[in-house]
Amino acid sequence: MQDNFGRNIHYLRISVTDRCNLACSYCVPNEKFKLLPRSEILSFDEIALVVKSGVRAGINKVRVTGGEPFARKGVVDLLAQLLGIPGIQKLGITTNGILLGKHLNRLRELKLDNINISLDTLIPAKFEQITRKNAWQSTWDAITKAVSMGFKNIKINIVAMKGINNDEFSDFARLTLKYPIQVRFIEFMPYGCWHDRNDLFISGRDIIAGIVKLGQVKELEKTSLDGPAKLFALHGSLGNIGIITAVSEHFCSSCNRLRLSADGKLRPCLYSDSSVDLKPVLRAKFLKEDEIFNLFAKAITLKPARHGCSRNFAMSTIGG
Ligand code: SAM
């Protein structure tokens, strides 16, 4: 379905839980934040119903995220359920990778190839400082296992932070010489606890300028399936490098997404406080699928031309 600005909205990101097994300093919400009562979190059947109605409204691409999606029991069953919905052409998951390893066989069976794994450092002790958990090895093992099992579309998400991991950008880029993966640098977005940490920000332009020093880097042509990342490759690499400039060069004019929060709110834009609550309709005595479809249409019409400036959100609830 098209929004008021002619954009085709076809991508839904779903936060299946606001719980996470890490507590990354840049991601944890501010003190006012409380975890949702479990009864407020949508069931898998409710999520599947939302996606079915979303398909009627034009959704064909879905990403499951959180919180940490694998922290929710049975999430692979949900993935199987979503893959069975006619009209869903692309399904992916975003995870911190800690619990991923043990689910890889099942994901292989489901032919789910689109796995984004967040990893901000290659140094285990630094991982513990950033995430407050000593778990780097589990994530790294899951990445290398997924590569060796032949998963086709593995991306490592790195939040780029000056003074924290900018000394490792070249090491991350070099991984693409050895592994057929995409390493994606995401500009740090100041919000939540770290809403005032503008000092950490490093622009996509500066990130790539540092990587160019490694040798020949070429910018790649993008296809419509590539999403907002600018793509680059080192000479002779098996993988490539993505740069997501959500802050320095926003891509609102090509934004195609809606977000579904863990408690059933459809959010038209990450940086805006408006949302459409699906839960009352989902939990009404007599559920009307047409009403969910209408609420999708409403959320699409609420999409702003470009993002606002709300910084008071919890990525874990909305779905990063
Ligand atoms: N737990 C999963 C994970 O770690 O990938 C999914 C949820 S996490 C909120 C999704 C993505 O949001 C991660 O790649 C994370 O690094 C990114 N993210 C969280 N806070 C961010 C911030 N302040 N700036 C940029 N990206 C952020």
pLDDT of residue 202: 96
CB of 42 within 6 A of ligand 1: the answer is no
CA distance 217 to 147: 23
pLDDT of residue 18: 94
Does residue 188's CB lie within 6 angstroms of at least one atom of ligand 1? Answer: yes
Count up the domains in the chain and report the number: 1
Q: What separation in Å is there between the alpha carbon of 96 and the centre of ligand 1?
A: 9
66 lines ligand 1 (CB under 6 A): yes
Q: Are 121 and 159 in contact (CB under 8 A)?
A: no
- Residue 223 within any structural domain of the chain: yes
State the Cα torsion 45-263-85-69 to the nearest 10°. Answer: -100
Pairing of strands 257-260, 217-219: unpaired
Q: Which residues of 202-222 are buried (b: 16+ CB within 10 A; e: fewer)?
A: bbbebbbebbeeeeebeeeee
240-270 residue pLDDT tens: 999 999 888 888 899 999 999 999 999 999 8
**DSSP-derived secondary structure for 139-204:** HHHHHHHHHHTT-SEEEEEEEE-TTTTGGGHHHHHHHHHHSS-EEEEEE----GGGTT-GGG---H
- The answer to whether 92 and 111 are in contact (CB under 8 A) is no
CB of 27 closer than 6 angstroms to any ligand 1 atom: yes
Quick check: 315 and 27 in contact, CB under 8 A?
yes
CATH assignment of the domain containing 39: 3.20.20.70
Task: Find the domain containing 61 and state its range.
Answer: 11-317
- State the distance from the centre of ligand 1 to the C-alpha of 120, rounded, in angstroms: 10
Residue 4 within any structural domain of the chain: no
Select from 186, 199, 243 the residue to mutate for testing ligand 1; criterion: most ligand atoms less than 8 Å from CB. 186
| Position in ligand 1 atom list of the atom nearest CA 246 | 25
From the CA of 223, how far away is ligand 1's center (Å)? 24
Angle at 148 between CA 165 and CA 150, to 5 degrees: 105
Cα of 320 vs centre of ligand 1, distance in Å, is 5
Q: Find, among 67, 68, 64, 98, the residue nearest to 81 by Cα.
A: 64
Residue 294 is assigned to a structural domain of this protein? yes
**Residue 22 token pair:** 């890490």
Question: How crowded is residue 316: how many other Cβ atoms within 10 Å of its Cβ?
Answer: 26
State residue 165's pLDDT score.
97
Q: Is 313 a pocket residue for ligand 1 (Cβ < 6 Å)?
A: no
pLDDT at residue 224, rounded to an integer: 64
Q: Say if ligand 1 is within 6 A of residue 20 CB.
A: yes
Which parts of the chain have pLDDT scores under 70? 30-32, 224-226, 308-320
Give domain status of residue 126, yes or no: yes
What is the pLDDT at residue 123? Answer: 98
- Nearest alpha carbon, ligand 1 atom 12: 320
Mutation probe of ligand 1 site: the residue of 68, 94, 191, 271 with most atoms within 8 A of C-beta = 94
Between the CA of 143 and the centroid of ligand 1 the distance, in Å, is 17
Q: Is residue 179 part of a domain?
A: yes
Report which ligand 1 atom has the smallest distance to the Cα of 158: 16
Between CA 111 and CA 119, with CA 117 as vertex, the angle to 5 degrees is 160
pLDDT, one tens digit per residue, over 185-194 is 999 988 777 8
The answer to whether position 3 is within a domain reads no
In a domain? residue 302: yes
15 lines ligand 1 (CB under 6 A): no
pLDDT for 34: 87
Residue 2 covered by a domain: no
Q: How far is the CA of 118 from the centre of ligand 1 (A)?
A: 7
Cα–Cα–Cα angle for 127, 128, 130, nearest 5°?
Answer: 65
